[in-house]
Amino acid sequence: MITEKIQKEIIDNFNMLDDDIEMSLNYLMELGEGLEPMDEDLRVDDNIIKGCQSKVWLTHTFVDDKLHFLGDSNTAITKGLLSLLISVFNNRTPEEILDSKLFFINETGLCRFIGTQRSNGLEAMENKFKLIALNALKNG
């Protein structure tokens, strides 16, 4: 499955940083900077992911049976985490998203230094992607 392949690439990239927390956080923030810019008119309450301490916006389109995501956050680390999730779930079918099990978070060691609040937020973000996929599956 392609989501597993992408997660393995994420793990390989973080493994090159040798568990250096500062380098890992800097890399994570750089990934966030690489997100496609989100128009201000999409940063509305309907697109906010509930359960995140930071503000996180996520929107999507459903074209050719695949979901395309666009997201942003008001904090650099959270934006980086969001960018990783988008890289795993973007341009996938709803079934692929729903069948995906995220394992890169533990295997990269990110869980050790993102803290409890961000871990809860990360779970809320993952749940939002899956909810969008479930709705797309139901509503076509």
Active site residues: 52
Report which of 127, 35, 126, 140 is spatially closest to residue 94, judged by C-alpha positions: 140
Report which of 94, 99, 106 is spatially closest to residue 136, judged by C-alpha positions: 94
Residue 92, strand partner residues:
67
15-19: which pairs have CB atoms within 8 A and are 24 or more residues apart? 15/108, 19/109
Write the CB contacts of 18 (distance below 8 Å, at least 6 apart in sequence): none
